[in-house]
């Protein structure tokens, strides 16, 4: 099956190394493209100053997170830099059933789980313009303590090497341009079955 003949993907995963700017790209999409449904993950991480509970994440305790796992309520989940993160299944399933394009911002381990459980999902890798630029952004972010930065730097090389597992790469050279490119990829997934190419 050639690429143009693929069925329309309803679910798109955005992944990429920590510090690459996924949050900034997502913020632009939240503001400008409300027809793209952004999944709200559950996490045990502490809330950052600019975050709102229920909008950026559902901030939960470890026991509550464990109950979500045990109840089979997560589409995927992973431990990242000492905290647990997971995608609640029910909201994603409902949006897909209603025909909305859904975007998940998740780490590499989560992207691999989605690839395994939903092979039609579109996996997009957000890449930095260079490795040096990524490390500069991670150190300069100012929201994390030294130990967290160290862990994220250690993880970055592994995350960069995973690019080849993804369907598409979007380079975050300028956040507006990168967001537009991503919206374009989601737009092409927002086809009704009647509009979708023959396959």
**18 or 172: CB nearest ligand 5GP:** 18
In angstroms, give the least distance from the CB of 143 to ligand 5GP.
Answer: 8
In angstroms, give the least distance from the CB of 56 to ligand 5GP.
Answer: 8
Question: Closest-CB residue for ligand 5GP?
Answer: 110
Residue set of the binding site for ATP: 16-23
**18 or 122: CB nearest ligand 5GP:** 18
In angstroms, give the least distance from the CB of 190 to ligand 5GP.
Answer: 22
Q: What 8-state DSSP symbol labels residue 171? A: E
Q: Is the dihedral of CA 29, 33, 38, 44 positive or negative?
A: positive
In angstroms, give the least distance from the CB of 181 to ligand 5GP.
Answer: 18
Q: Which residues bind ligand 5GP (CB under 6 A)?
A: 18, 22, 41, 45, 76-78, 80, 85-87, 105-107, 109-110
The structure tokens listed for 66 are 């464990």
The structure tokens listed for 116 are 């395994």
Report the SS3 class of residue 93. helix
**157 or 196: CB nearest ligand 5GP:** 157
Residue set of the binding site: 16-23
**43 or 189: CB nearest ligand 5GP:** 43
Sheet with strand 41-43: strands edge to edge: 57-59, 41-43, 83-88, 74-80
Distance CA 188, CA 124 (A): 13
Cα–Cα separations (whole angstroms), residue 106 to 56, 140, 197, 198: 12, 22, 28, 31
């Amino acid at each position: 099956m050639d690429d143009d003949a693929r069925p329309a993907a309803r679910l798109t995963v955005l992944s990429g190394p920590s510090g690459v700017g996924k949050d900034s790209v997502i913020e632009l999409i939240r503001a400008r493209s409300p027809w793209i449904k952004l999944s709200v993950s559950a996490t045990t991480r502490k809330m950052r100053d600019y975050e709102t509970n229920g909008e950026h994440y559902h901030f939960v305790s470890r026991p509550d997170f464990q109950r979500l796992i045990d109840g089979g309520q997560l589409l995927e989940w992973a431990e990242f830099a000492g905290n647990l993160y997971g995608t609640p299944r029910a909201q994603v399933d409902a949006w897909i059933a209603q025909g909305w394009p859904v975007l998940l911002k998740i780490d590499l381990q989560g992207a691999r789980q989605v690839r395994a459980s939903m092979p039609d999902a579109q996996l997009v890798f957000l890449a930095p313009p260079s490795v040096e630029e990524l490390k500069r952004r991670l150190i300069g972010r100012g929201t994390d303590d030294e130990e967290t930065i160290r862990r994220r730097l250690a993880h970055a090389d592994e995350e960069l090497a995973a690019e080849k597992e993804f369907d598409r790469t979007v380079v975050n050279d300028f956040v507006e341009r990168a967001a537009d490119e991503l919206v374009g990829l989601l737009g092409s997934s927002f086809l009704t079955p009647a509009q979708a190419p023959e396959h």
